[in-house]
Every structure is written in structure tokens, then in C-alpha cells.
Amino acid sequence: MENLAGKTALITGASSGLGEAYALKLASLGVKVILVARRADRLRALADRITAEHGIYAASALPMDLSSRDAGSTLAKILKGRGIQVDILINNAGFGQTIKFVEEENSFIVDELNVNIHTLVELTHAFLPGMVERKDGIVINIASTAAFQSLPYMAVYGATKAFVLSFTEALWGETQNSGVKVLAVCPGPTATEFFDSNGTKPALGRFIRSSEDVINTTLKALEKEKSPAAVVDGLLNKLTSLSSRFFTRRASIKISGKVMMPRKKD
């Protein structure tokens, strides 16, 4: 992969988990990172950590609630108004919960759709044209192994990730030979705060991967001269993503439902 030093990356959902891991790794490679998330204190703490290690201009924090309907366009206007060129876009922000759809609050669903889909699309639409014009850039959209099969107890989340995967693969098809790399990253269960927000967890146990695993999988995919449209992190997750090819959809849904059924944390 080309030298990324001196480039600027915009990372959403950067206050913890995968977003934080992407920020730390890219900063270590000399990339200037713009960190966006809702939790201002954690975001600024991460920016301070990065600037202490890599210099005052290595990171900046932009606290913002990405669930608002116009968050993507607002963020794009702020950065363009400051004359900031985004060379790497990492649409990492996303959330969901393990719960029956009929028990989900409507406000939660609306926010989930806005963050997981609407803001992601807006930001991609704001910054991809410039990358294509410059014939240089990287767009990384965080999908999930949830994109490959219907997911009882995470019905909305799974559907949003199916959208992200399809959307990103289509953009990959449109940007071939443009100089821009577009990649959907599909982690499986990862050791982040994802399942902590509502006090439940699915039966995942020892299959959980680390954020560092996902980052390494991402970088390896981008190092390829012809990078793939999507990459799944971890061998077991790759097998899981292929399960729908070997089972009927009905059987696949039943299996997913048993795995994802909410269980109270120990």
C-alpha cells in the first residue's frame, strides 16, 4: 500500500472500539486524523493522546451527534469551510441492540437508521467525488457479517449492514481504475462496547475477535494492488458469511436467531 504519511483521515465513531483503533493505527503511520463522535470527553482524550505521541497537528476532535438527520451534510460543510481535504474516509459509526423488533423504541430505530445509513451515505457522497477527481483516496465503510443473513433480535441493525455492504460493493464497481479504493469491512463479533449499551449479549463466547484483528485485516486488503470490494475479518467469520450458501434461508434464520437471542450478562 502507498505511503499514507501526510494524508488526512476522517473517522466517525472514533471515541471507542474500532474507530479508536483505526485512529491510533493511522496516526502511527503519519496520517492526520479527524475524530468524530458524540462523546466529547472521550474524543478529546483520544485526540490529546495522539497529539502527545505524534505532534500537535496529528489529531483534531469534532464532537457531533451523527444521529441527527443533517449530521453528514453539516460535518462536510464544516470541513470544507476549513479547507480540509479528506483523503481517507472511514465510516465506522454505527450501533444496534439485541432485542425483539416489536420491543424497540421508535426513536432508537430512527437514530439507528440515520447513523448506520443516512450519515454514511451523505459523507461518502460529500467526499468521494473529490477523491475521484484527484484520482487518489480511500473509502472504508464498516459493514458486518450481519450483512450476509437475516438477523433475528437485531433485525434493523442487520438490514442496515446489508445496505452498507451492497452500497459499498456498488461504489467499488463504479470506481474501478479511478485511483480510489473503496472497501467494505465486515467484522464479526468484536471486543468493543457494542453489546454493553443495553446490558445484554448474544451467545458468542470465544469467537469474539479484537479491534486490532479487524485493523490488520483492513490494511492487508488495502495493500493488494486490486483491493477487494469487501473483506470479512477472521476465518470463522468467513465461514459464517458463507452459511447462507449451504443452508436454506429458513434454516439460516433459525440458526442466527439461536445465536443472537439476548441473554443477560453474567
Each residue's pLDDT tens digit, 240-260: 766 666 566 665 665 555 566
CATH, residue 124: 3.40.50.720
Residue 64 inside a domain? The answer is yes
User: Which pLDDT tens digit goes with each residue over 152-177?
Assistant: 899 999 999 999 999 999 999 999 99
Is residue 49 helix, strand or coil?
helix
Residue 1 inside a domain? The answer is no
Residue 212 inside a domain? The answer is yes
By annotation, the residues acting in catalysis are: 157
CA distances from 115 to 112, 127, 154, 181, 218 (A): 5, 17, 15, 23, 22
The predicted structure's pLDDT at residue 198 = 43
Residue 3 inside a domain? The answer is no
> What is the band of 189 on the pLDDT scale with cuts at 50, 70, 90?
confident
- Sheet with 137-142, edge to edge strand ranges: 59-63, 32-37, 8-12, 88-91, 137-142, 180-186, 230-232
Rounded CA separation 72/148 (Å): 26
Of 112, 163, 143, 155, nearest in space to 262 by CA: 155
Residue 2 inside a domain? The answer is no
Residue 222 inside a domain? The answer is yes
Of 5, 63, 10, nearest in space to 33 by CA: 10
Residue 251 inside a domain? The answer is yes
Q: Percent of the chain beyond pLDDT 70?
A: 84
Per the structure, the count of domains in the chain is 1
Rounded CA separation 9/33 (Å): 5
pTM exceeds cut of 0.95: no
Residue 229 has pLDDT above 90, yes or no: yes
Domain extent at residue 134: 8-264
The predicted structure's pLDDT at residue 199 = 47
